Amino acid sequence: MNINHQKVFMTVNPAETRKKALLFIEEKLFREWDLRFGEPVTIMAGCRSVPVFVQPFPSSGPTLKLSYDMNQFLSLPVFSDAISVSFHAEQRTIKIGPFFAALTNQVPMQDGTFGEMEKFYQEMASYCNQQGIPFYLLKLQSLQEGIAEGLFAGQNGWQSLTLPTPDVLYNRIHSRKLEASQSFEVFKMELAARSIPMFNGRFLSKYDVHELLNLEYELLPSLPDTILFGENEPFLRFIEKHTVIYFKPASGSQGKNICKLTQVSGKWKIESSGNKQELHFADTEEQLFDILKRFSRKQAFILQQGISLLETEQRKVDFRILLHQNDQFQWRVSSMVARIGEQGAIVSNLAQGGVMKNGSDFLKEVFDYPDAGRLYQKLIRLAKNTARAMVEHHDESFGELGIDVALDIDTHPWIIEVNSKPSKKFQGNYETFRPSVKSIIDFMLTLNREKHR
C-alpha cells in the first residue's frame, strides 16, 4: 500500500471565502504526492470525510489550506505546530492525524487541572505533539455523529472543543460503576462499529484474575491459594489450611478495606489495613464467618493465603512492575519499584502510608550483588509471564499492566495483584517524559498501524 506520511502546517481560509470545495496544497508537497491540478480527492479526520478538488499554492513549508466550512465539518482544532498527515495514493485520500485520546470520567478541578493526573496527561499531549499527533481527553458519550466532545491541551490550559473521533483510545476511566453501565457497553459497540481500537478496556476483579492465571501451569507455584468468600463450607476448609489469611475486596484498590486474619492460640486475630490500632478477635470459626459477612456488606470479597513477605526493619515489601506492549506486541518492563509498607502495617500500598524505592537499587541494598541480580530477573520474568497470560486468556486488549509481585522470606516469588489502571501519580526525576508515556503512545501508534494494514 502506497502511503506517504508527512508533517504539515494547517491553515484555514476565512469564513467568507467561497471556494468551499477547494483544498490548497503547498507546491512541493503537491508534486511529492503526484497530484494533478483540480483532481478530486477525499480529506479525512477521524470518522468524517469531505470530497475536495486540489490546487497547488506557493508556501515556505509543507502546508494545507482548508476552507472554513471544510475545517468546521471536520471539527479540527487550531494547530499551532505541524501535524501528521498521510496521503493514500490508491484511494486518493488525505488523512489528518491519527488523533489519539484518553477516555476519562474526571472533570477539571477549579484551577482547570486534573489533580495528580495532570502531569501525566500534559506529558501525553506534549509527547504526541512532538510527533505531530493531536491528543485530547474524551468523556463517555455517543459517537454517532462522527465527532466527539473533548478537552484539548491549548496554550491556556484544557479547552472544551468538538473534535474528530479518535483513531485509538486509551481507557483511563476511574469508575468501576461507570464501566459496568449500559452507556459504556453502547460506547464500546460504537467503537467496534467504527473499528476504533480501545485498550485497557476495564478494571479487573482479583478473583477473575486468579482464575485466569490458574490456567497457566508455570504460574501455579507463584499463585497464592484464593477463594471467593460466601459459602460456609469452602470458608471452613480454607481456614483449616491456612493460619494467616488476607480478606480483600474482589474489586478493591489502593489497599483499602483489607483485613489480615491470623490464628493465635485457637482464636482469630483480625487486623484492618485502615487502622493499625484497631484489633478484633473471633473465638470461633462461626464468629469469624459472621464478622466477615458483616464487614463485606454483600460486596464480593476473596480469601487469600497469607504470604510471609520479605521485610526490612519490620516493614513489608512488595514490588510494582509496570509493563507495556511494544510494536511487536511483546511485553517490556518500563519501571520496577519496591513498595515498603509503614511499620506494623498489613499492606505496603503507597496510599496506606508506604514509601517507594527503585526496585533494583532496593534489591542491591538487601542482597549480595549476584543474588540481587538473580532475584531481579526472577521477578521480571514472573511479571512478563503474568502479562502474557492475561493477554492470552482475557478478551480485553491490554497495552499496559501494573503487576504487583513479592518475595517471601525464602525469596520465593509470588503474584499479588494485576492492575489494568496503574497509578499515574508523578514519580521520578526524568528530564522530559516518563517511560510509560512514551510506551503508551508508541503502542497507540502500533494499534493505528495494524488497523490500516
**What residue segments make up the domains of the chain, in order of their start?**
5-96, 100-199, 225-305, 309-420
Length of the chain (residues): 453
* pTM (2 d.p.): 0.90
Segment holding 329, helix H or strand E: none
**What pLDDT is attached to residue 160?**
95
Task: From residue 240, give the alpha-carbon distance in Å to each of 223, 317, 414.
Answer: 19, 27, 22
331 in Cβ contact with 324 (< 8 Å): yes
User: What CATH number matches the domain at 5-96, 2.40.10.340, 2.20.25.10, 3.40.50.150, 2.40.40.20?
Assistant: 2.40.40.20
* Confidence (pLDDT) at 442: 95
Contact 359, 428 (CB under 8 A): no
In degrees, rounded to 5, the angle at the alpha carbon of residue 445 between the alpha carbons of residues 444 and 450 is 100
Q: End-to-end CA distance of the chain, in Å?
A: 8
Topology of domain 309-420, per CATH?
D-amino Acid Aminotransferase; Chain A, domain 1 (3.30.470)
For residue 429, the model assigns a pLDDT of 58
CA distance 272 to 292: 12
Q: Can you state the angle between helices 285-296 and 232-241, rounded to 10 degrees?
A: 120
Asked whether 352 and 345 are in contact (CB, 8 A), the reply is: yes
Closest CA to 410 of 221, 269, 231, 136: 221
- Low pLDDT (below 50) residues in the chain: none
What pLDDT was estimated at residue 444? Answer: 97
Q: Which residues of 307-325 are buried (b: 16+ CB within 10 A; e: fewer)?
A: bebbeeeebbbbbbbbbbb
Q: CA-to-CA distance for 39 and 288, rounded, in angstroms? A: 79
The pLDDT value recorded for residue 82 is 96
Buried/exposed code over 249-259 (b: 16+ C-beta within 10 A; e: otherwise): bbbbbebebbb
Assign domain 225-305 one CATH number from 2.120.10, 3.30.1490, 1.10.10, 1.20.58: 3.30.1490
Integer Cα distance of 183 and 187 in angstroms = 6
Give the model's pLDDT for residue 278. Answer: 67
Domain 100-199 in this protein, CATH class: alpha beta
Report which secondary-structure segment, H or E, holds 155. none
Pairing of strands 311-312, 301-305: unpaired
Classified as helix, coil or strand, 331 is strand
Position 202 scores a pLDDT of: 87
